[in-house]
Chains A and B, each alone.
Chain A
Amino acid sequence: MSNTNQFTRRSLLKTAGGLALASGLSAPSVLSAQTSDVIRIGHLTPRTGFLGPLGEYGVMAIDLAVEEINAAGGMMGRKVELLKEDSINPQTASTKAERMIERDKVACIIGEISSASCLTIAQVATRNKTLFINTGGNSDALRGKDCQRYMFHVESQNSMYVKTVGRSFLRDGLVKGKKWYSLTADYAFGHDLLSVSKRFMQANGGNFAGDDLVPTDATDFSAYLLKIREAKPDLVVINLAGNQITNFLKQYAEFGLTFPVGGFGFDTALAWAAGKGNFVGTWPVVWHHLLDTPGSKAFVAAFTKKYNKPPENQAWGDYIATKIVAQSINELKSAESPKIIEHLEKGAKFDLLKTRPGYFRASDHQLMHEMYAVTALPADKIKNQWDIFSSSPAVPGPDEPLEVIASTAEENVCKFPS
């Protein structure tokens, strides 16, 4: 018994010591928050869990962006200091956002991948009148019924993903009169994407064969694959996220299923992880490393030099969001969120490393920009582990307005709470 007590006391002392040490370490940042020679930017994104692998690309990219911004003179001549945290889940995300804004006085928060966490961060951001730029949450609801004046979206909404890759499905004759079966990630993003997919497929004459909601921690897809084989669909639609997509692709190949596959949401890193021969189908992306524009080539070169691997779409999102913030602050000579928001709402144009510049739509704060559909290359045409797909031309085409792939005001109503 005395033994146990001793242990408890000792561990208690250790814990107290650890806490003292931790608070000691954080004290300097509290003090320096008073000084004005730096501009702080907060970065929140999931770095663990099923979206963690993607978040890591966001972290690498924002580090690179801040490095480049500081090398070019910072923001308004002040050095940019980046505060990065693992957002973990919606509750933790909102707590950390609160702390970044109140204690660390960040100029804005950039990041996120989970649509559920985007919502909680946006609520904190709006309450504190601080800009939040979403770089990875796709759900239409974030630009619709849950839209917030202080939240902007560099990441495309689900509607844009669906309409981009939907063009490829229509072209390949996989929609009209055809039977589609879907697997959906069982959280905010997946549910939202499923309803947008249903709207698109129904409008274009597709027949819905069935859907399975997949828990986010699912690793084994064999039970789903048996159902798909039984259903014999003409198109398998994957509305999954994160590691789910890699697990699905590896096991789809393992079970030898050959129904055409496509997805309405995607990240290149997941295809790289599935690997040559396992990666199949046609998928939408906001950006990919094979884009033939000077801006993209420079970004790919700088990223590859720093990290020994090419960037993927999530890296583009965090990189470009940071560049947009830097450009806006430098042009406005102000880091105040309301001023930046006014600037963005007025339709300021930004170079997005693509063929056309982009702008934020004032009605829902969604970035209007070109997207791409990528299709897996057959195994014998693959030269290295990264270049495993071919890309469609930019969607929308050069003669179309950028807004054609976005949701219409009727499809997705956004009324900013005043």
Chain B
Amino acid sequence: MSAMLLTQQILNGLLDGVYYLLIALGLSLIFSLGGIVNLAHGAFYAIGAYLTLVISPYLGFGGAFVVAPVVVALLGVVIERTLFRRFYRSDPILSLLLTFGLAMVAEQALRMIFGAPPLSYSIPPALRGQVAIGSFIYSFYRVVLLGIAVACVVGLWVLLQKTSFGRVVRAGVQNPDMVGALGISLQPYMSVVAALGIGLAGLAGVLLAPIYSIHPAMGQEIITPAFVVVVIGGLGSFWGVVIAALLVGLVKGVMVGIGYSAASTAAIYLLMLLVLLFRPRGLFGERIMRFE
């Protein structure tokens, strides 16, 4: 294989990782702050994709891009207020069961409303075509997608690192009792974190609807690799998740590139295993007392 093609595969793999990132960041945030392993996260991604189909005929893809993530985020707040809230202090296995059930309910609801067969949706005409970056020809839509995803990641980072909101959230991840002792209630913060994390999953659904098959179980397809990313990255670490996502995308892409596509899925689990062997808290996982 030529060096050129290998370079292309590396770049493409890194781009691929960015899609996982949108899902994994939300997963990581919700787990770090609330201790909720949100298995329903993929379902919100699917809901985002289906909302795109519903909204586009009226407001176009641009309208869906704005409205769908907001609707999904609001749905996230409702779920947080009514369900997640009851499980913050209990055994994670209970919230695991809750969100597992929630994921099944959501998938079945999509099946009942929209039918089981996949539905069609295409890239809007304005975003079609190819761009040439040097001799690397790439889909214009994916470049747009990358731009949006990077903006989201940077935005989230600024929010967590540079604002008073972010300081409380980070303190809450480390030591919720101390935050409470200082007279700050974490509950409203948790609602906002759920809205952000789940809204990001909805956004990923909107962005991937034009290029992936839209079907009720599409959430399941993305949730497992997203979890792998969170585990590799390590809990409580923003950049850990970012780097893990890129790494997972890279490993998958390169495996296909060098002709071992059959093992491309297995390779990311092997990567996870290796990381856990040498760094049980993940690449950049912080020591969080209540999870030790």
Which A positions have Cβ atoms within 8 angstroms of B? Answer: 3-4, 7, 11, 47-49, 52-53, 55-57, 186, 212-215, 217-220, 222-224, 226-227, 229-230, 243, 246-247, 250-251, 253-256, 269-270, 272-278, 309, 385
Contacts and interface: CB of A to CB of B under 8 A. Distances in A.
Which 9 residue pairs spanning A and B have beta carbons closest together? A275-B120, A56-B116, A273-B118, A223-B256, A246-B213, A213-B262, A215-B265, A243-B213, A212-B261
B213 A226 contact: no
Contact of A223 (B12, B94, B117, B213): B12
Given A3-B90, A226-B12, A273 B120 contact: yes
Interface string B134-173: 0001010110000000000000000000000000000000
B41 to A, nearest CB: 16
A275 B121 contact: yes
Interface string B67-107: 00000000000000000000000110010000000000000
A390 B2 CA distance: 40
7 contacts: A4-B91, A212-B259, A215-B265, A218-B264, A223-B12, A230-B2, A278-B122
Given A219-B221, A269-B118, A250 B210 contact: yes
A311 B117 CA distance: 11
B57 interface: no
Contacts of B116: 47, 52-53, 55-56
Contacts of A275: 120-122
Is the contact region of chain A dominated by helix, strand, or loop, or is it mixed?
Answer: helix
Nearest to B129: A256
Contacts of A213: 261-262
B54 interface: no
B117 A273 contact: yes
B130 A247 contact: no
B213 A273 contact: yes
Interface string B197-222: 00000000000001111111110011
B252 interface: yes
Interface residues of B, number: 48
B88 to A, nearest CB: 13
Contacts of B213: 219, 243, 246-247, 250, 270, 273
Contacts of B139: 222, 254-256
B234 interface: no
A274 B215 CA distance: 12
A3 B253 CA distance: 47
Given A222-B16, A278-B120, 6 more contacts: A53-B118, A226-B12, A243-B118, A254-B123, A254-B210, A278-B122
Nearest to A48: B217
B142 to A, nearest CB: 7
Contacts of B212: 219-220, 247, 250
B236 interface: no
Nearest to A216: B265
B274 interface: no
B94 A7 contact: yes
A247 B208 CA distance: 11
A273 B119 CA distance: 5
A212 B120 contact: no
Contacts of B48: none
Contacts of A251: 211
A217 B213 CA distance: 12
Interface in B240-292: 252-253, 256-257, 259, 261-262, 264-265
A219 B222 contact: yes
Contact of A215 (B13, B94, B253, B262): B262
Contacts of A255: 130, 139
Contacts of A47: 116
B211 A274 contact: no
Nearest to B136: A226
Which of A11, A222, A277 is packed against the most chain B CB atoms within 10 Å?
A222
A48 B117 CA distance: 11
Contacts of B253: 222-223
A52 B142 CA distance: 28
B115 interface: yes
A186 B266 CA distance: 13
A41 B256 CA distance: 44
Given A7-B90, A230-B2, A272-B117, A215 B264 contact: yes
Given A226-B8, A275-B122, A250 B265 contact: no
Given A49-B217, A53-B215, A219-B222, A226 B129 contact: no
